[in-house]
Amino acid sequence: MLKRTTCFKGKAAAELFYSTKLERKGAAPEPIKATLFGKGGVQGLDQREHQHRKKLFMPFMESSNLDDLFNLTHAIWQRRIKSWIGNPEISLYEEAQLIHTEAICEWFGIPLRKDEIPEKAKELTIMFDYAGAKDLSYFKARFKRKKTERWISEHIEDIRKHPREYSDSYLKRFSLFRDLRGELLPLNAATTEILSALRPAVAISLYVVFLAHALHQFPDRARLMNTEKDRFSFIQEVRRFYPFFPVIPARARENFVWRNHEFIKGQMVLLDIYGTNHDERIWKHPEHFMPERFNDRPENPYDFIPQGGGDHATGHRCPGELITIGFMNVALHCLTEEIDYHVPIQDLKINFSRLPAIINSHMILNNVRPKSQRKEIRPSMNFFQE
């Protein structure tokens, strides 16, 4: 955007990025705010205001609150799978969008008829799938976001008018949340925060595609999944190895010098997420798919940052990270334990030239059929308890 910008990657860079020397306010380019983040949301806040608003999302990090979501998601997967059997082929990307839209809306407490699911899935998908578009698709994304914002705003306004008529739900909690002054959030801010919960959940459909791609491209690694820890390591390696959103923007809060590099107040800074997850100073053979690297690996909030770094409660690290892992675990269970399928010839290259990156073919599956020796068990989430 013709502005002086410092780009960096690595553990030390992430530590600086999430320090008080940098701020998020005003950092995201207008096109990204208008389609991906929205305006007035938690991503653009800092310090006390950010920490207070983050309280809305922190229940997403409690495994006890996620059991119902993952059980619901598994049931929806099983229902969708039945519709795949007998079909010539299915697009896993589009199917995952439908599954995640239905699951997150029902769990969040948003009324959604069955016939509305395809439309809402498309609207939520366009917000992230066209976020980096350089053509007319960008304007389509802005139009769709406005339409979706009106849909959510109507729910918020009705809850605020008739709060006693609504049972407790995340939708009600977000609608009635108050800021540091004790006032209800502006309607546009409350709408943005609700979409900041729904949109990322649907965006996990990208990781479902990458999971299936990894199972197909690295079958020897897939065959080594014998325990819950193995499955967890496989999921984490998919999150490290494959691209999601590539960078995070911020601005220098003040003038300072770091490692002989001068930062000027207001200067743009970009943290390279993908580069950090592929940094040879952190990862041995980073371009190799090696799930075992996560076996008993000590956690560090700054060297593995597919969804941001730092602390979940006080920083800008995504509070929905456990939802990502849980959705991926349900998908991995269904793809390996509940069905057999064929991957036909298709373009399986990753398109890095778009935002977000995606498999060119969207991962087509055909000849989907129930597994011959299917286990009647639901996907275990025990690694959340460890």
Percent of the chain past pLDDT 70, that is, above it, reads 89
pTM of the entire predicted model: 0.91
Q: What is the mean pLDDT of the chain?
A: 89
Angle CA 341–344–350, to nearest 5: 105
pLDDT exceeds cutoff 70 at 62: yes
Residue 281: how many other CB atoms lie within 10 Å: 11
Percent of the chain past pLDDT 90, that is, above it, reads 68
Phi, psi angles (nearest 5°) of residue 190: -65, -40
pLDDT tens, position by position, 225-276: 989 999 999 999 999 999 988 899 999 999 999 999 999 999 999 999 999 9
Which residue ranges are tagged as binding site for heme?
A: 318
The reported pLDDT for the residue numbered 35 is 54
pLDDT tens, position by position, 144-160: 788 899 999 999 999 99
One-letter amino acid of 134? K
pLDDT tens, position by position, 158-217: 999 999 999 999 999 999 999 999 999 999 999 999 999 999 999 999 999 999 999 999
One-letter amino acid of 44? G
Torsion over CA: 80, 343, 379, 193 (sign): negative
CA distance 271 to 289: 23
pLDDT grade for 346, boundaries at 50, 70 and 90? very high
Residue 308 — left, alpha, or beta (φ > 0 → left; ψ -120 to 50 → alpha)? left
Residue 222: how many other CB atoms lie within 10 Å: 18
Q: Which two tokens stand for residue 312?
A: 């979940």
* CA 253 from centroid of its chain's CA atoms: 27
Which residue ranges are tagged as binding site?
A: 318
Of the two residues 9 and 131, the one the predictor is more confident about is: 9
pLDDT tens, position by position, 298-328: 888 999 999 888 776 566 567 778 999 999 9
DSSP state of 380: P
Q: Which two tokens stand for residue 206?
A: 């990208």
The reported pLDDT for the residue numbered 333 is 96
CB of 77 closer than 8 Å to CB of 99: yes
CA distance 383 to 246: 27
Is residue 90 classed as helix, strand or coil in its secondary structure? strand
Of the two residues 37 and 97, the one the predictor is more confident about is: 97
Of the two residues 162 and 55, the one the predictor is more confident about is: 162
pLDDT grade for 138, boundaries at 50, 70 and 90? low
Q: What is the arithmetic mean of pLDDT over 38-51?
A: 70
CB of 175 closer than 8 Å to CB of 160: yes
The reported pLDDT for the residue numbered 44 is 65
Query: Does residue 356 have a cis bond before it (omega within 30 degrees)?
Result: yes
Phi, psi angles (nearest 5°) of residue 370: -60, 145
pLDDT grade for 376, boundaries at 50, 70 and 90? low
The reported pLDDT for the residue numbered 37 is 59
pLDDT exceeds cutoff 90 at 57: no
Please give the domain boundaries of the chain with CATH numbers for all domains. 5-384 (1.10.630.10)
Q: What is the dihedral of CA 273, 275, 276, 281, to 10 degrees?
A: 180
Of the two residues 21 and 374, the one the predictor is more confident about is: 21
CA distance 161 to 175: 11
Q: What is the arithmetic mean of pLDDT over 349-370?
A: 94
CA distance 345 to 244: 24
CA distance 152 to 187: 10
